[in-house]
Amino acid sequence: MTMLISFLGRASADPATGYRRARYRFPDGTEAETAFFGLALREQLQAERLLLLGTPGSMWDVLVEHVAASTAGGANAGLEDARIALLEAAERQAVDASHLERLRPLLEEALGCRCELVLIPYGRTAEEQEAVLDELDEAVRGTGEAVHFDLTHGLRHLAMVGMVAAHLLETFRRGISVEAVWYGAFELRGEDGVVPVLRLDGLVRLQAWIEAWRRFEDDGDYAVFADLIETEGGDAELAEALRRAAYLESVLNLPDARRRLLVVLERLEGQPLPGAGRIFTRRLRERLGWARRDDLYEHQRRLASLHLAKGDYLRAAILLNEAVLTRWMAERGEGDVTRQQDRERARRRMLEEMREARRDAEHEDFRLLEAIRNALAHGSVPDWRRAQALLRSEARLRRELERIGSRLLT
């Protein structure tokens, strides 16, 4: 089902229609002449459901009279009292839901679709703007619907609320897809008087990319871009490589995660991210550039810092522990840092060296790091009282892991 969400404002450019009559040209070249762009757009889309939002001062009366003129009999008959009541309320800018509900059948008969007339506040304050979003979320109950937004009419600042609402609906209503955001750009009309109809849904997609980038900045999860790439019709292999890299990194298989990221970088060199993601392509290449350097130690240290910053103390402790071992192996040429058997043998030799060299502070820090890691991994209470005390206080645990990392990794 296709649903059109449109706004109704208040204008006095034309005494009969409020809005100025204009000829609108859609992106496919078709044209329609009307004073109410939303009605022409509904016809163009063949939308089965029209959700019209307006304030108590919107020109509901003008809209109803405009539509009533196109139909006779049927729902139009017997509604004279309701129309008069609406006209009087509109003069006082005091239209309420009961006025609209009585006249809804008239609109449905004339337009040939399901109509819902929703009163919203003026959006003067943050609370009123949020109330508009609440009203819209409440009105949109269906699932599996393709939603179109029309931001042409209504109070100008409500168009901004409408853009936020388009993104909010896709977030809250998983079965709903925002197909397009439309705007009849009267101020861009040509010399022939024709008004171009613009699609602004790219801005909704851009907001999705911005949010994905913010999540990536927060937790380093490459997979946040995969769904967007597929939604925009992009490279499916690129999306899968990002998902695979994210999974491998989540299970701390860093060498294989790096290899998947090299595939990502190779594909990004050949083509940008699709749609609104294009403007993030260079930044993503730069952020993943470290994968070109075969340096497991730096990878572990970078991830340890990232997980510590976001409060994932288990992963931070594991990665700090492994980074210390990786550096020790690299400095002494002790086997292959990517082979588990070599790492286990090297771990035993490292601990022996620490004890034999009597490097008490470094040895104790590493023992403490291992105690923290084991306690977090197994959900157990460590025997060491110092470790017990750290695990009782998040602030102390964070500070101690930062200190240990600074001492052992510099």
What is the fold, at CATH topology level, of the domain defined by 2-199?
Answer: Rossmann fold (3.40.50)
Entry pTM = 0.72
Sequential pLDDT tens for the chain (410 residues): 899 999 998 766 555 556 788 999 999 999 999 989 999 999 999 999 999 999 998 989 888 888 877 665 555 556 788 888 888 888 888 899 999 998 888 899 888 999 999 999 998 899 998 988 888 888 887 656 788 999 998 888 888 888 888 877 777 766 677 888 999 999 999 989 999 999 988 888 888 899 999 999 888 899 999 999 998 899 999 999 999 999 999 998 999 999 999 999 999 988 899 988 999 999 999 989 889 988 899 999 989 998 999 899 999 999 999 999 999 999 999 889 988 999 999 998 888 887 776 556 788 888 899 899 999 999 888 888 999 999 999 999 999 999 998 888 87
CA distance 46 to 113: 9
**Residue whose C-alpha is closest to residue 49's, from 113, 106, 109, 141:** 113
> Which ranges in the chain are annotated with CATH 3.40.50.10640?
2-199
Buried b (16+ CB within 10 A) or exposed e, 49-64: bbbbbbbbbbbbbbbb
Is 187 buried (19+), middle (13-18) or exposed (0-12) by CB count in 10 A?
Answer: exposed
